[in-house]
Amino acid sequence: MEKKIASIIVVTGRELSREYRLNRSKNIIGRDTSASIEISGDQRISRNHASIKSEFNPDLQKFDYMIVDLNSTNHTYVNGEQISVEKLRDGDKIRVGDTILKFVLQDEIDAKFQKEIQRRLNYDNLTGLLTRESFEMAMKAELERYRKHKVSIAQFMMDIDHFKQVNDAFGHMAGSYVLSQVGILIRENLRSIDFSGRYGGEEFIAFMSDIKKETAMKTAERLRTVIKKYDFDYNECKMKITISIGVAFFPLHGETVEDLIHAADVALYQAKRAGRDQVVMFEPGFKISPEN
């Protein structure tokens, strides 16, 4: 019988595609630093939220894996159903807090492929956000998950207003400081299950899964306000920075990565055209092709 490797893979948020190999003893899922599957960025996960342990099945001569909720505050769900104890099957989706995990039984080829995906997810050194290529790869994986059920997803395209003036007035080091701080503010003002990237230059991108339009628009507006009110201070040079945000939704405004990014980009152009420092949701009547 071919040996299978039991793993838990993170399928949402900032740790997207991270893999945890399960051992035969107890594996703890939680926020505590001692947890073998530590999910530190999700405050809705208990310190010791759930455990996964193996039990040998003599009839099938293999190990079964059982997940047990550890009296967590927000409960443990398998395939959308709240559980106390449940036998895991290959492909089962586990939700703890706002984080979705996937239980998989992989052969050596699958395991190597998963490692390659994780290796290719790169982060921008300056902002700490995903690179454009990694963001688009992660986004494609998310869309595959949601396409069947048509769950609403929000796509943000963001651009720092008049960024060239920052470089011209204060220098490129000050510009780099602004980019890094904006990256931090984006991460701090999105949910732990969302992910974001630096799309290029002073342009950023974010992807919020399973969210209502009203909530997504409020999130974008809050982020815009936070950046506007933030004191950007580099070597005693105080700068006021604003950002424009275009928002599009899956499946309303597109069902592919390319269509969603395009729709959000068109909405961003409208925000710039209307005076900058604002949030605009895509509408079909907008110009098809953004201009610089």
Cα R_g (the chain), whole angstroms: 21
Which strand (E) or helix (H) includes residue 30? strand 27-30
Give how far Cα 214 sits from Cα of 104, 247, 262, Å. Answer: 35, 11, 21
Give how far Cα 84 sits from Cα of 10, 39, 127, Å. Answer: 21, 20, 40
The single residue of 202, 203, 236, 283 carrying the catalytic annotation is 202
**Does residue 255 have an active-site annotation?**
no
A 10 A CB-CB count for 172 gives 10
Which strand (E) or helix (H) includes residue 268? helix 257-273
Nearest to 29 by CA among 39, 41, 17: 39
Q: At residue 265, what is the residue type?
A: D
**102: β partners:** 9, 93
Q: How buried is 190 (Cβ within 10 angstroms: 0-12 exposed, 13-18 middle, 19+ buried)?
A: buried
Sheet containing 203-208: order of strands:
195-200, 203-208, 153-160, 243-250, 279-281
| Positions marked active-site | 202
